[in-house]
Structure 1
Amino acid sequence: MARPVTMFTGQWADMPLEELAKTMAGFGYDGLELACWGDHMDVFKAAEDMDYCKKQRAILDKYGLKLFAISNHLAGQLTCDPNDDSRSDGFAPADCAGDADKKREWAIEAMKNSARTAKNLGLDVVNGFTGSPIWHMLYSFPPVSDQMIDDGFKYFAEIWNPILDVFDECGVKFALEVHPTEIAFDILTAKRALEAVGNREAFGFNFDPSHLHWQMVDPVKFIQEFPDRIYHVHMKDAALQLDGRTGILASHLNFGQPMRGWDFRSLGHGGVDFEEIIRALNVIGYEGPLSVEWEDSGMDRLHGAQEACDFVKNVDFKPSGVAFDAAFDEK
């Protein structure tokens, strides 16, 4: 095994951290990537209270688990989204519900505290989302001008540069999970997002192939495009289910419904070519964790989590330290 295998706890936030740590250690995971919701990590506490940080770390230590990154997707989503309906009310404290500006103000502080938390925990990466002020303009009707899109990236930079200033102060990097509904959802928008913040080193990517695969973007091309910006890696699979009747936009059907044009799958049960991804990660010298983000509406999650750990360990390998034909030169 070349890299540590971790589990992202976002889809497990209903389980107390102690119970989850014990379970994942039993499955063979090397560590956890803690979500900043549930009881897994409170960034408002951890940014100021070292005893709280030690307490959360002690839970992982008890079961021999390591901590490489934290993730604050929910707060990050509120920073740039319009926040003008109730879908995201549950992402922020109850007193922010229905108030777009209040949700945004809370979220910006939460993301700054995520950097402070990472520093207090001795980490150098925070994963998450940014939201997007222009995702609702994806299909250009009613007509969308170039200026509207330019303004969207400018707005993102205005919100995120002050957040990234705190990341710089803390010596921590932010890794955006490139994903539909974010300011960057494919290769071209990822390039625009980097340019919008002046290509500053504090901003990079949490590479997750599943979100690219169903858009029919080659995940390996993404790694090749951004070799110095892959700050963290999620391992997640997806399957295209296009049969001439289903559509890539999923027809307003929720995950797990059979008529969707695509869906997430447990590792090894979709269409992502993970061997080629490992080879590409070897080329760029990525040595960080491979973090399972488990999502599959058609499979028991405990079964899937254990199987996924074994899958990642089996698919991962170190690059060669010697040319295969070097022995031919031996005298």
Structure 2
Amino acid sequence: MKLGLLTAAFPTLTLDEVADWASSNGFEAIEIAVWPTGAGASRRYAGTAHIDVESLDASSAQRIVDDLAEKGLSISALAYYPNPLSADETEAAAAFEHLKAVVRAAKLLGVSTVGTFAGREKGTSLDENFDRFAAVWPEMVHYAGDHGIRIAIENCPMIFSGDEWPGGTNIAFSPANWRRMFEIIPDENFGLNFDPSHLVWQFIDIPRAVHEFGDRIFHVHAKDLEIRRDGLYDHGIMSAGVGWQVPRLCGLGEVDWGAFFGALYAVGYDHVASVEHEDRAFEGSVELVQRGFRIARDTLRPFVH
């Protein structure tokens, strides 16, 4: 297994600058953020484009791959996390169009996996959202399959604040929903970008989920989560985590990393654990973000070989 990082936390650095730092600090892979260029951040930790996938061609893709290889780095996945089931039809259509561009770029780069969200219309029921999912997502997965690319859906509920209330903006947050997704789309190139932190505050057994869905885990996000007990007392579980679940760097929260990696090894996962930095205590400057990544690195290194 390799230790990697998601580049989205470095929006002010170039890909070369991120790669130089990652290589010199013990990381072996990078998951490259590829939002539309010039779009800006529509939400925190979104909007970063370390590759312009729309203008990428075979020669520029090969140059990127070669430059990273010289630094001892591989690309674990391309990362683009929009809301393809948004109630705004223009937003949803744009998400799918850019996702197709990301798939084409992944093929040029020789990258097998694209990480994204399934999406959700936050104000409607799960059943209604799954009806929409069944209508629009199979074509996207088939498109990726035709290019030899796997789609890895991250299991984040995407409900952190009032503007994502009440349902969040991603249906792929629980084992029951994953089963439902895979019943609708059983294709072998459709799976999960598994992030254990999102299961902590939902009180879902992480190793059990890894064992059940091991053959669908295409990529892993390494992020931790702290439950603020005072906030849980004040707001209760009906707040869906708002006010008491806090994303943290690996080792600063409640994920049992030994149990998690034990389960990953048991099911045969041997790809990349990509550190996703969303910890407010280590942001505000490049140096703070780098310090956070080093904390996560030192926590995970004993498990990643």
Alignment of 1:179-328 (within 5 A): 179-180=156-157, 181-197=169-185, 199-243=186-230, 244-248=233-237, 260-299=243-282, 300-316=288-304
2:188 partner letter: E
Q: The residue matched to 1:310 in structure 2 has which SS?
A: helix
SS state of the match for residue 123, structure 2?
helix
* Cα offset, 1:217, TM superposition: 1.2
Q: Identity, % of aligned pairs?
A: 31
C-alpha contact 1:11 1:295 (8 A) present in aligned 2: yes
Aligned-pair CA distance for 1:155: 0.8
- Aligned partner of 1:52: which letter? S
Question: What's the CA shift for 1:23?
Answer: 1.4
Where structure 1 has 5 or more consecutive residues not aligned to the other structure, the ranges are 83-99, 138-147, 254-259, 318-331
Write the deviation string for residues 187-219 of structure 1: whole angstroms up to 9, x where unpaired: 11111111122x221210000001111111122
Aligned residues: 275
1:1-331 map, 5 Å: 3-37=1-35, 38-46=48-56, 49-74=57-82, 77=83, 79-82=84-87, 100-133=88-121, 135-137=122-124, 149-180=126-157, 181-197=169-185, 199-243=186-230, 244-248=233-237, 260-299=243-282, 300-316=288-304
Cα displacement (A) at 1:246: 4.6
The residue matched to 1:45 in structure 2 has which SS?
coil
Query: What one-letter code is carried by the residue in structure 2 that aligns with 1:118?
Result: A
Task: Report deviation, 1:251.
Answer: 9.0
Deviation, 1:59, is 3.9
Runs of 4+ off more than 3 Å: 246-253
Q: Contact between 2:9 and 2:289, CA under 8 Å: does it hold in 1?
A: no
The answer for unaligned runs of 5 or more in structure 2 is 36-47, 158-168, 283-287
TM-score (ref. length: structure 1) = 0.78
**Aligned-pair Cα RMSD in Å:** 2.0
Separation in 2, partners of 1:178, 1:248 = 19
Distance change in 2, residues 1:67/1:149 (3 Å)? closer
Give the secondary-structure state (helix, strand or coil) at the position aligned to 1:234: strand
Task: Give 1 or 2 for the bigger CA radius of gyration.
Answer: 1
Contact 1:17 1:59 in 2 (8 A): no
Cα offsets for 1:79-137 (capped at 9, x unmatched): 1121xxxxxxxxxxxxxxxxx3332222211112222211111121111112113x334
Conserved? CA contact 2:2–2:304, under 8 Å: no
| Amino acid corresponding to residue 44 of structure 1 in structure 2 | E
